[in-house]
Amino acid sequence: MSLLNKKTVDDINAKGKRVLVRCDFNVPLKDGVITDENRINAALPTIQKLINDGAKVILCSHLGKPKNGPEAKFSLAPVAKRLSEKLGKEVVFAADDTVVGDNARAAVAAMKDGDVVLLENTRFRPEETKNGEAFSKDLASLCDIYVNDAFGAAHRAHCSTVGVTAFVKEAAVGYLMGKELKYLGNAVENPARPFVTILGGAKVADKLNVIDNLLNKADTLIIGGGMAYTFLKAQGGKEGLSLVDDEKLEYCENMLDKAEILGKEIYLPVDSAIVSAFPDPIDAPVTVEYVDSKSIPDDKMGLDIGVKTQELFANVIKGAKTVIWNGPMGVFENPTLAKGTYAVAEALASLHGTGATTIIGGGDSAAAVQQLGFADKMTHISTGGGASLELFEGKVLPGIACLNDKD
């Protein structure tokens, strides 16, 4: 499956058609007020395009994790209101606990070209996450064409991301999803080289397949964060109280051997910022010392890369034409332990304007880049942490595989 050949909203004839758009409106809410509108803003281009084309635009999304069906605090009603304000036109909210019930059917039946309806939280139907047929058919019965613009949910085979497509003739990607596929797809299928990938974060066990797959694709792998210490121990290092996963030592040895056989470089920290105890709370003041990453005292733990490593990693990044970054270099939630993550973010930012592509794979690295003020210097910050990781693992995302290829 190529990620780069999917039918998009530009390839469909939406005039007068009922188009069901799976959006990612999973926004944070506090007392019914939306506290971060980024996901709503990100959905606007596709919605606006379909309105302009004269489609009947039916939107759906999940919000939070309701446990056993409808829960008022997870209603999408606040999103309908905000969306209406942003679009400058009415968004009819179909308040059905069954998502596709009498309200939704009546609202859709009354639609004129260019109208917008938002359905209730798809997870109000417990079958949603089980990809059940009845709800998939219900969703499909409302529309002629399906568009998926929710990259963050593309790694999940749910009714609203996968099941529905079996009962709809045409299924395409929206602009937000298209942008994700363009950048992430190009990076993993057709990268400009040198291609450097940077992996960090807490546990090596969470990213085993990512390391393996990216080692095949990239020219150079930089490993920082907590996961580096298992690699360093595998090389014979003394890692003190650092986050080491003894069960994965052999895996790390295999990866180091594999890199050698493939002629690829793996860069690991040469020095570390160490402390006596994990800060509690996480942003509490800490006093750090810097030591050789392979000689960490028994009563200390490495919680960030040191200054020499920052320079080493920045130098490797400097020559890159494609960079993918997933996972912070240290405990970036603490200002004293955010320096390594900052240095890597700065090195990526310095590629801005050189023609290199810099991609942040969602989750914590995206948060770090935003928090450190470098967001506008990156080529692409993925909206899907889990989905982008699965792509980096080389997996086929079910929510993309089920969409039509271009004719």
Q: Where are the beta strands (DSSP E) in 220-287?
A: 220-223, 238-239, 265-267, 271-275
Query: Considering only CA atoms, which of 365, 361, 368 is closest in space to residue 389?
Result: 361
106 and 129 Cβ atoms separated by less than 8 Å:
no
Closest CA to 159 of 141, 186, 173: 141
Indicate whether 303 belongs to the interface with ligand AMP (CB under 6 A): yes
DSSP 271: E
- Smaller CB separation from ligand AMP, 121 or 388: 388
Which of the ranges 71-79, 255-263, 284-292, 324-332 carries the binding residues for ligand AMP, by CB under 6 A? 324-332
Among 243, 268, 348, 360, binds ligand AMP (CB under 6 A): 243
Figure out which of the listed residues 152, 163, 237, 302 binds ligand AMP, where binding follows CB under 6 A: 302
Q: Is 302 annotated as catalytic?
A: no
Overall residue count recorded for the chain in this entry: 407
> Considering only residues 34, 157, 202, 270, which one is a binding residue for ligand AMP as defined by CB under 6 A?
202
Q: Which is nearer to ligand AMP, 180 or 304 (CB)?
A: 304
Contacts of residue 331, Cβ cutoff 8 Å, sequence gap at least 6: 278, 279, 282, 303, 304, 337, 338
Q: Is position 393 an interface residue for ligand AMP (rule: CB under 6 A)?
A: no
Stretch that binds ligand AMP, among 39-47, 149-157, 284-292, 327-335 (CB under 6 A): 327-335
Minimum Å gap between C-beta 204 and ligand AMP is 9
Dist CA 328 CA 333 (whole Å): 10
Among 139, 331, 369, 402, binds ligand AMP (CB under 6 A): 331
Q: Which is nearer to ligand AMP, 113 or 283 (CB)?
A: 283
Pairing of strands 271-275, 301-305: antiparallel
Contact call for residue 367 and ligand AMP (CB under 6 A): no
**Distance between CA atoms of 294 and 35, rounded to whole angstroms?**
43
Nearest residue to ligand AMP by CB is 201
Q: Tell the smallest beta-carbon distance from residue 203 to ligand AMP (Å).
A: 6
DSSP letter string, 278-316: --SSTTS----EEEETTEE-TT-EEEEE-HHHHHHHHHH
Task: Based on the residue annotation, tell me whether 363 is a catalytic residue of this protein.
Answer: yes
The verdict on 152 binding ligand AMP (CB under 6 A) reads: no
Q: Which is nearer to ligand AMP, 170 or 390 (CB)?
A: 390
In contact, 28 and 210? CB cutoff 8 Å? no
For 273: left if phi > 0, alpha if psi spans -120 to 50, otherwise beta; the answer is beta
330 touches ligand AMP (CB under 6 A)? yes
**Of 201, 330, 363, 399, which one is the catalytic site residue?**
363
Q: How far is CA 373 from the centre of its chain?
A: 19
Residue 386 annotated as catalytic: yes
240 lies in the site for ligand AMP, by CB under 6 A = no
Q: Cβ neighbours of residue 241 under 8 Å, at least 6 residues apart?
A: 296, 298, 299, 300, 301
**Sole window of 9-17, 40-48, 170-178, 199-207 interacting with ligand AMP (rule: CB under 6 A):** 199-207
Closest separation in Å from C-beta 201 to ligand AMP: 3
CB of 330 to ligand AMP, least distance (A): 5
Is 384 among the residues that bind ligand AMP (CB under 6 A)? no
Q: Which residues of 249-287 are buried (b: 16+ CB within 10 A; e: fewer)?
A: bebbeebeeebeeeebebbbbbbbbbbeeebeeeeeebe
Return the active site residues: 39, 203, 363, 386
- By CB under 6 A, name the binding residues for ligand AMP: 201-203, 206, 225-226, 243, 302-303, 327-328, 330-331, 333, 363-364
